[in-house]
Amino acid sequence: MVIDVSDQTFESEVIKSSLPVLLDLWAPWCGPCRMVAPVIESLEAKYDGKVKFCRLNVDENPQTAAKYRIMSIPTLMFFKNGEAADTVIGAVPERVLQPKLDALL
């Protein structure tokens, strides 16, 4: 299950997570964001229990988006031990994301 996070829950869900996190920064009006959603859901099933999957609506949560200087969406950020470890901008296929997730494990 992909967890919706907000500016208020970002620290507890992402930064303090005991698992590595893939954070999808998106907005409902963004076409490429909708294209990448099924890819993330597929990966979530494959990495169940190993990686936490979260998403943050940048329109509703501008503080977190500003903190990480998000200029384009979708932006996929990879966190390990509370630190941003990698970033991918744009709708990309699963084969691009899988090695990045494996590197977190």
Please give the model's pTM, rounded to 2 decimal places.
0.96
**What is the second-level CATH architecture of the domain 3-104?**
3-Layer(aba) Sandwich (3.40)
Per-residue pLDDT of the chain (105 residues; tens, 9 = 90+): 899 999 999 999 999 999 999 999 999 999 999 999 999 999 999 999 999 999 999 999 999 999 999 999 999 999 999 999 999 999 999 999 999 999 999
- Residue 33 designated active-site: yes
Domain ranges of the chain: 3-104
The residue annotated as part of the active site, out of 21, 23, 33, 77, is: 33
Among 7, 39, 69, 35, which Cα is nearest to 22's?
Answer: 39
- Residue 30 designated active-site: yes
Classify residue 31 by its DSSP letter. H
